[in-house]
Amino acid sequence: MRSAAGAIQYESENQEDQCGIEKNAAKITELQARQRELEKQRLELENLDIIGIVRNMGLTPDQLAALIQGARSNEKKEEPDYA
């Protein structure tokens, strides 16, 4: 059986641990939100880069579609057949 002092110390340590857990959970949530925002910004910048490249090349939408289709066809041809 615990003494009154031991029980108080245990309760104090338990509260400190709980406080630490709550702080960590809050920080994790904050960092996850920041990560999502950074990923969103990166995707927007990548998309702007792609749009800029396409515009600089002077491609029409049909030409861009043909270019993408050609690239996809080449990827399929280059995949090794391990069967």
pLDDT score recorded for residue 36: 98
pLDDT score recorded for residue 69: 94
Q: How far apart are CA 46 and CA 40, in angstroms?
A: 10
Q: How far is CA 40 from the centre of its chain?
A: 8
Q: pLDDT averaged over consecutive 10-residue blocks of the chain (83 residues)? A: 68 87 97 98 96 92 92 77 63
Q: Where are the domains of the chain?
A: 4-78
In this structure, is the dihedral angle defined by the CA atoms of residues 32, 36, 41 and 45, taken in order, positive or negative?
positive
The tokens describing 18, both together, are: 């709980």
CA angle 39, 62, 64 (to 5 degrees): 40
pLDDT score recorded for residue 78: 66
Q: How far is CA 52 from the centre of its chain?
A: 24
Backbone angles phi, psi at 11, to 5 degrees: -65, -40
pLDDT score recorded for residue 5: 67
